[in-house]
Structures are given as structure tokens and as C-alpha cells.
Structure 1
Amino acid sequence: MERVMESKFMQSLQRFGEALARNKFLSALTGSMMGMIAVIMVGAIFQILAVVPTLFGWVTNDSTYYQVMMVPYNMTMGLMSVVLAFSLGYNYAKNIGLNPLQNGINSLLLFLLVAAPVQTLSLADGAAFSGLDSSNLGGNGLFTAILVAFVAVQVTNFCHQRNIAIRMPEVVPQFLADSFTALLPFLFNVIIWYSVALLINATMGITLPTLITNVLAKPLAALNSVPGMLILLCLACVMWFFGIHGTLVVLSAVLPISLQAISANGLAVAAGQEPVFYPIFLLGTLAAAGGTGNTFSLVLLGLRSKSEQIRAVSRAALVPGIFNINEPVTFGFPIMYNPVLAIPYILNPMLTALVVWLGFVVGFFKPPYIAVMTVMPLGVGEFLGTLAWQNLFIPVVAIVVSGLCFYPFFKIYEKQLLEKEAAAKAAEAAN
């Protein structure tokens, strides 16, 4: 392991990661994602409170209890992209010397402009209702939020550097002067993004986040084979690395295929026949242990880490990880835009899929014939989909394979953080 850690590839990867960390935009993005942990954790808690009673048949997804418990989830993780748009605009502007609060607000409003424009609906009683469509404000709007915040701050910085602004006399209060200074850059941003939103809506009748998802999803439906599933697993994780909800993109492309395969097996079992393996079932290895990227093993490694940051994130992510909720890991370590952890994050689902496929080939794992359409704790979804005890070992395979993949890269990242933490403590002691 020491030889692996000191190899030229690992050393170059570490230098590359450190170089990216010094980038003002990427450092702002990392800080923004870490700053969302409280929002994500509260959402995860209420999601768990909503899901657990359904496992025992106490409530259903249509019950009042479930709907009440999901309200805080929808107002936290369901608005994740809104939070990121504001915090990224704030932190990026701060990094390059602009007014952070003004840019954070501008980024948030511009994101809503392209992702959730106001819609007016006619109700049954004839009254009109105006509201925002929240379907793109959660995880599937992350890439749009990143794109909007980056461009919006860049436009503002362009105007700032060329003195394109309305200047007020010095006697005017500073907060009022700042508002007028921000007026022209914000106007230019609104023109840019509103034009984009109008163009997409006029030509396709959808929003920018939906367009991104559709464009990425359509060609993926043809990859219905074992090699195709490996490609889908890889692409889903690569998209997550760039802030695109890869899980949603892939599922939207292959969900009809998955439901068709499960339905066919359901009919076969009802007729007294054995369920059949379809390649689409390997897609479950994308999130078999801790959510997308099988990050539960990373949490287990982090619990014993020497880095205070990693230990803190891992402790917070442990219970959500058991319930296959991995946002605390994705945004807390983070994995997004972190090349050191991205490699095992992308690699391990494919290796897990190969091992699980061999399990199906030899007849140990059983193909599912019951549709499980919600997030479940480790192993529960695999068991309920087949009612076969053997499938409880699918998460075990995922934990072992992903742990072996994550470990050397985890140690590199831990070393980076330990150096930063030691430098921070030395500076604090000096002060």
C-alpha cells in the first residue's frame, strides 16, 4: 500500500487535486457544498422518519403521516439547488472581491428564472393559481445552479472591471449605493438568462434543467446489455462529479425497461416459473451500499480517520448512509469536483456490478420480480424485490468492493486534509 501511495500516478493525482483546490471557483463550490450539510442532514432525518414506518406497514406513501414528514424534506433537500445557487454566488463573489450578498441573491433569482418560472393554473372552481414548479429545485437542478452562479458572477465581474455601473454621490448611504452599482450587471444577467429560458420554452416547452436531463437521457436507453449497464453506471457517477444528477438521468432513461423486466418476472413467478435475469437489474449496484457510488464504505473508513473534518462528516453521514442517503458524503467530503475521490467513486459501481453479475450467473443472487420504488435501508430493497435472503449479500459485496477501491484514494485525501488542518492549527497558535 505504501508503494501504491508513493507511485507517480498517486503523487500526480494529489498535485492535481491540490491545484484544483486553489482555483477560486472550485474552492467556492467546495465550500458551498460543505455549507449545505445542515440543510441536507435535516432533510435526511425527516426522510428517514417518513420511510421507516412504511417498512413495517404502519403507514403508506399516501398516508397523512408520510405526507407531513415529507414537508421538511421537500423544503430542504427538495430545494437543494436553490441553496447552492445562493451560496455559490456568494462564495465565488467573495473569492474574487465582489459584493457576496448581492451576487448570492442575484444567482438565486436567476436560477429560479430558468429552473422554476412562475406558472398560472386554472383551478376547478375557476380561480387562478400562480406558483413555482419545484420539480427542478432539488438534486436535478444542481448543474444548472452551478452554471447560473458561475456565469452570473462572471458577468458582474466583467462590469466591475470595466466600470459599467451606476455611480451615486458619496453622500448616499453605502447600502443604497451598492444597490445601484449592482443594477446594470443584474439587468444584463436577467436579459441573458431570461432569453435562454424563453428560447428553450418556446422551442421545446420545458426548462433548462429538464432539457439537460432529456438530452443526456435519450441516448442512454439503448444500452440495455451487461456492457451497456457498466457504461450507464460509469456515466451516472461521472455526471454526479460534474454536478449533474446522474442517477436521475439514467433512471429516467431506463425506468420503462426496468419496470417491464420486473413485470415480466412478476408474471413468471405468478405462473410458477423462476424469475429471469435481465441486464437492467445490474443498475441496482449503482447505489447498493450507502447511495449512489456505494459511499457507505467511505463513511466507515472516515469514522477512524485522523482528520477531524473527515471524522465529523462520517459521523453525521453514518445513519443516512444506512438508509442509502449519500448527500452528506457527496457534499460533505466532498466527492463532487474532487478528483481524488472521484476515481474510486466512478470505478467501484462497475466492479461491484461485475461481481454481482457473476452471482446471478451462478444462480446465487435471484432476479427481482417486485417493484420497490423508494429509498430503503441497506439490503431491504434487495430483499423486498426478490424475497430471497441471498440478495441481502448484494450490499455486502458493494461495501467490500467499494472499500477496496476507496481506501488508497481515501488515504491520499486524508493526507491532504491533515496537512491543511495542521497548518490551520499552527496559524491559530501563532496568532
Structure 2
Amino acid sequence: PAAVISLSVWLMSQPQSVMFNEEAVGGVVDRTWLAGQGMVGALVFGVIVGMIYCWFLKKDITIKMPAGVPQGVANAFTALIPAAAIIVGWTAIIYIVDITMHTTVMQWVYAMIQAPLQGLTDNLGGVIAHQFLVTFLWWFGIHGATVVGGVMGGILTANVSDNQAILDSGRELTVANGGHIFTSQLIDQFCTVTGSGLTLGLVVYLCFFAKSEQLRSIGKLGIGPGLFNINEPILFGTPIVLNPMLAVPFILTPVLSGALTYLLIQWGILPMFTGVVVPWTTPPIISGLLVNGWKTMVWQAIVIVGSFFIYFPFIKMYDNQLYKEEQEAAE
């Protein structure tokens, strides 16, 4: 019921007419708000409705059916009072916003929340902060990509949608025309490719250069999933989590990759990302080619090779330590 009420609130909040041949046409859904521009509004309305609905249930402000009534029917009546209160209250908000600001709730959320957030995050500092938080949280064992993605996912998806809209309009995709450099593809293909921390270079060392039996075993276990951007075996098996010897390269590698990629796009060396998004499990190199052509593919390969050299001095020191411990244990 809460999901259905959220959907109703979302539809109510949108413009109730569109302009066609200089005439307002009602009874339609404006497609403008079905893509990136409506993303943050949908998240906000869903959270608000969910909180209010749960408050009614916790306070037991519901219609109670007698014993013997089927549970499905009883649940439908339970939702009536919260639904009525939310719909009536939201209708009042819609009229207040319309009278005082001459706009819709959806347009107000976009102008006051989404647009400033997109502008605030679409810069070099935003890329660096995003990746620092992802790997910093992961180092403590918290799934940083999920935590940060829950906040940033809608904004980055909206950036992708805006870039594609520019191309669809026939204009050149540039920052001057409103294009965004910081998109979900930048994160997926250059920061979390091969897993959070960009760990494929580390895995290559573990498989082919490690002296420690422990690290060689973990490398063999992790190379397959790593090619599909899954690196939990490496994070918890090496381990990287709570390991001070590997904290610096783990945090530094994706930050450098994201920052350099941002600058190369800003300088016009790499093309800006369009609306093409591939599944996050798409292997590296292939994903770079599919997302944005051969230049992006080549740069992605350079980044992955570079990750090996960033990790090398740190993992070699850790490898020597483990190897020494294994030798002492064997003796």
C-alpha cells in the first residue's frame, strides 16, 4: 500500500498539462519527469510517504476488521486511513505551492534540490570525495559502493539522462551546452571497475608474483570474479579490510583514476559520456569500448595497468611479511 500511495503522490506532484501547438492539453503524463529530471523527486516522495505511512501503523491509527476477515482484505482496510490522510495532505501542499510559487511540487523539488545537487557534484572535487568515501567505508568492512550509491545514484543517473537529452536535441554534447562529466559511467568504468578499489592490478600480483602461499591462493580465487567487477574475495581474503598496509593504495587508486578521467574529459582528450550504460558486471576493456568507444577503452586499459604499479610496493611489503611468517611456521 505504501508503494501505491507513493506512486499516486508522485503522479499528483507533476504538471497536469503539457503545451501542444500553443495550447494546454490536460489529462496526460508529462514524459519530462519520467526520466532523470524526476529521479530525485521520486526518491524524496517515496521516503516521505513511507515515513508517514509507518507512523500511522506504529500509532495504530487504522481501521480494524473483526476476527475471521481474510488477512488480504484486512490489510486493504488498514491502509485506508493513512492513504486518505496522505492524499488529502499532499493535495493541500500542491495547492499551496501552486498559489505561492506558481509551480508544481515536482518542478520545485527539481529546482531547489536536484539541480543544485547535480551542479555541486559535477566537478573534480565531487569525483574525489565520492571515491574517497566509497573506499574509506569499504576499508572498515562497510559496502561503500552501496552506501554512497544510495545517495548519489539518482543524481548520477540524472546526469546521464541529461547528456542523452542534449544529443537527442541535435546539439553537441559539451559542458557549455549543459553536459555533465561526472556520470555513473565514470564511476563504473574508472573507479569501481574490477571492484571497489580498482583491484585487478593487485590480483595480477597475487597470481603471478606473490611468494606467500596465502596470497597466491587468494589471487587464484579472486581473478575470475575480478574480471566481472566482483572483488569481495580479495577485500576479505587478502585482506584489504582493516589492513593498514594496503589502505593507502586501496583508497588512492580509484581516486587518481576518477580524477584523471575527469580532467581528460574536461580537456577534450576523452569524449563525454552519452546515455549508453552497460551492466556493472561487464568485463573491463569490453565495457570501456561499449560505453564510449576506443579512446575510452584504451584509457581504461592504461588505468588498470597503472593500478598494478600503485599497489606493487605496498603488496610486496605485505607479501614479504606473510612469506616470512609462513617460513617460520614451517620450520
Tell me the TM-score normalised to structure 2 length: 0.58
Cα pair 1:320 1:326 within 8 Å, conserved: yes
Deviation at 1:234, TM superposition (A): 0.9
Match of 1:385 among 280, 283, 291: 291
Counterpart residue number, 1:318: 223
8 Å CA contact retained: 2:229, 2:280: no
CA 278–415 in structure 1, closer or farther in 2 if over 3 Å, else same: same
Letter in 1 for 2:270: F
Q: Partner of 2:169 in structure 1?
A: 271
Q: Which residue of 2 aligns with 1:363?
A: 268
Equivalents in 2 of 1:258, 1:308: separation in Å?
A: 41
**2:235 equivalent among 321, 330, 339:** 330
Matched, 1:248 2:146: yes
Residue 204 (structure 2) pairs with residue 303 (structure 1): no
SS in structure 1 opposite 2:246? helix
2:329 is aligned to 424
- In structure 2, the residue corresponding to 1:287 is in which secondary structure? coil
How many residue pairs get aligned? The number is 212
Give the Cα–Cα distance (whole angstroms) in 2 for the partners of residues 380 and 275 of structure 1: 23
Show the 5 A alignment for 1:333-352. Answer: 333-352=238-257
Structure 2 spans left out of the alignment, 5+ residues:
1-68, 76-116
Question: How far has the Cα of 1:364 moved from its partner?
Answer: 3.2
Q: Is this contact kept in 2: 1:355–1:397, CA < 8 A?
A: no
In structure 2, what is the Cα distance between the partners aligned to 1:127 and 1:253? Answer: 35
2: CA distance, partners of 1:317 / 1:254:
28
- State the Cα deviation string for residues 370-394 of structure 1 (Å, max 9, x = none): 23353211133333333x2211124
CA gap of 1:123–1:242, structure 2 versus 1, over 3 A, is: farther
* SS of structure 1 residue aligned to 2:202: helix
Give 1:126 shift: 4.9
In structure 1, C-alpha distance between the alignment counterparts of 2:168 and 2:230, rounded to whole Å: 33
Tell me, in whole angstroms, the C-alpha distance in 2 between the residues paired with 1:327 and 1:258: 24
1:102 alignment counterpart: none
Q: Give the TM-score normalised by the residue count of structure 1.
A: 0.46
Aligned in 2, Cα 1:250/1:423: closer, same or farther, shift over 3 Å? same
Say if 1:230 and 1:414 are closer, same or farther in 2 by CA, change over 3 A. Answer: same
How is 1:30-45 mapped onto 2 (pairs within 5 angstroms)? none
- CA distance in 1 between counterparts of 2:232 and 2:270 reads 28
Call closer, same or farther: CA 1:366–1:306 in 2, change over 3 Å: same
Is this contact kept in 2: 1:352–1:397, CA < 8 A? no
Tell me, yes or no, if structure 1 residue 227 matches structure 2 residue 125.
yes
State the Cα RMSD in Å: 2.5
Percent sequence identity is: 31
In structure 1, give the amino acid aligned to 2:314: F
Structure 2 counterpart of 1:269, which letter? L
2:156 paired with 1:258: yes
Deviation, structure 1 residue 315:
1.2
Counterpart position of 2:8: none
Whichever of the two has the greater Rg, that structure is: 2
C-alpha distance in 1 between matches for 2:155 and 2:144? 17
Q: CA deviation at 1:422?
A: 0.6
Letter in 1 for 2:201: S
Partner of 1:106: none
Mapped to 2, the partners of 1:303 and 1:260 lie a distance apart of 39
